[in-house]
Amino acid sequence: MALDEPEDRVVEIDEEDEWQLYASAGYAAIEPSFEEEEAESKEEEVWFDGDDFDLGGKSVNWDAPPCPAPLGIAHVIKLGVCDHCLSRIGGPRISESPSGSAIRSQAYERDIELSTKVLQDICPLCENLFEDVDNIVDRVFESLSGVEFSTMQFGIHLPKDLVQEEDRIRTKYGAPGSNPLKGSIVEAIHNNIRKLERKVDFVKERPDVMVLVDGLTLRVDVDVRPVFLYGRYRKLSREIPQTRWPCRACRGRSEGCESCNGSGLQYVDSVQDLIGEPVKQALDADDTSFHGMGREDIDVRCLGSGRPFVLEIKRPRKRRYPLSDIVKMVNQNGTSKVEVDTLEWCNKSKINNVKQSRSEKSYTIRFRVGEIGKEADIIEAIQSLSGQTIEQETPKRVSHRRAAKIRKRKLVSIENIQVEDQEVQLTLRCEAGTYVKELVHSDDGRTNPSVQSAIGSNCEVIWLDVEEIHAE
């Protein structure tokens, strides 16, 4: 169908004709008739049914059946649809859909002049985005250079107006059930990645890497997902915290200060770094986060089978490493301070399991008594606390980071009470969340009853050990 081109005409008018124009515009008429108003409105009315395409100054303004009807295919070809989009909207959804070039060739055979009637070079459905698939794949693997992965979650962000226009055209002129643009682009990228002979599985949950592409700028954002290790640690030193402790003077600034010798840390070593640094180096990661089942004070050892923890390794370039080798590296790095027996890979859900556990714990504590009485009396007084439920107001030493409230905790058992001169040592098992030091010295009466109130003499804690965490 030939398209009508507007003709440029120059019309010369004289003064009288010019006056007539002004008159018809209402400058000379006092009150135009109803018939004149109706005729004028009909001349100014512009008809539009929402199906017009204004492409390069040309217009397509006819109704066409949807694909795969020959007229429908011819229509979308005239609109400038590319071969990729012609394939997905031009035929029925079958396992082996005809290629866009094959559909186009058949259409050209039916209409030898069809190729001359294409209105534009830019596909109105994808804006030629399919031509950038190879470029996108190259950018993805450039961003993932040096990163080990076997699973990927892929997404693409497309401009809203493009998605809406593509949906409108595809719905009206595409074959029933034809695939939308976003899903088709993602599938094309998936296929190109598979051709690279990279063993990559595309998943929706727990991917090794997450890739998001901006369909407008072709920017590629890559998120290397963390890996997680579960184990138990024994803390053998009374001089290190569980996690990193920022310097009090500089508040952990990267450049540090004189007080922390440029480390930014109040304590150079921590359980987190003594375990995490060897793992970080082995997996070539950026950083680690430490998630423990509770925590112990800096001056408290954790013995027995150790405290359960999950180590989160952030942005690892390697995702697998022999666990036996990691255990050796951790124990060599933490000599006389921290050690682990076994480690195992886990997923993120393990963090919640560790954090939410309310396991009972066994402690050994040694304290000094102000005025010592008879050994038998002291043992009897302390033993009387076994099986009792105590009330503990938030200790003064943690009041700045703990809610002010009274906590009820049960003392399951007290055993192995030893009295030596002015010092007493005992082993106790108690409910999770018990403040054991305060149980002994009472924290100025904030813990009731306490060992101090039971024996009637001031108590001063010398040391405390976590003997066992009774976690399953």
Q: How confident is the model at residue 127 (pLDDT cuts 50, 70, 90)?
A: very high
Q: How confident is the model at residue 36 (pLDDT cuts 50, 70, 90)?
A: very low
Q: Where in the chain is the domain with CATH 3.30.70.3190?
A: 361-469
Higher pLDDT, 89 or 10: 89
Phi, psi (deg, nearest 5) at residue 70: -55, -40
134-155: average pLDDT: 94
Question: Residue 226: is the preceding peptide bond cis (ω within 30°)?
Answer: no
- Element counts in the chain: helices (H) and strands (E): 14, 16
Q: Which residues are catalytic?
A: 297
Q: Where in the chain is the domain with CATH 3.30.70.2510?
A: 227-356
284-307: average pLDDT: 95
Looking at 318-364, list the stretches that DSSP marks H as alpha helix, in order from N- to C-terminal side. Answer: 323-333, 349-356
Exposed / middle / buried, residue 334 (Cβ in 10 Å: 0-12, 13-18, 19+):
buried
Q: Where in the chain is the domain with CATH 3.30.2130.30?
A: 129-224
355 residue type, one letter = K
151-159: average pLDDT: 95
Distance of CA 23 to the CA centre of its chain: 70
Residues constituting the chain: 472
Looking at 50-96, list the stretches that DSSP marks H as alpha helix, in order from N- to C-terminal side. Answer: 70-78, 83-89
Looking at CATH, the fold of the domain delimited by 361-469 is given as Alpha-Beta Plaits (3.30.70)
> Tokens representing 77?
């070809």
By C-alpha distance, which of 140, 342, 339, 153 is closest to 229?
Answer: 342
- Residue reference for tokens 């008429």: 29
Thinking of the domain 129-224, which architecture would CATH place it in?
A: 2-Layer Sandwich (3.30)
Q: How confident is the model at residue 216 (pLDDT cuts 50, 70, 90)?
A: very high
Thinking of the domain 227-356, which architecture would CATH place it in?
A: 2-Layer Sandwich (3.30)
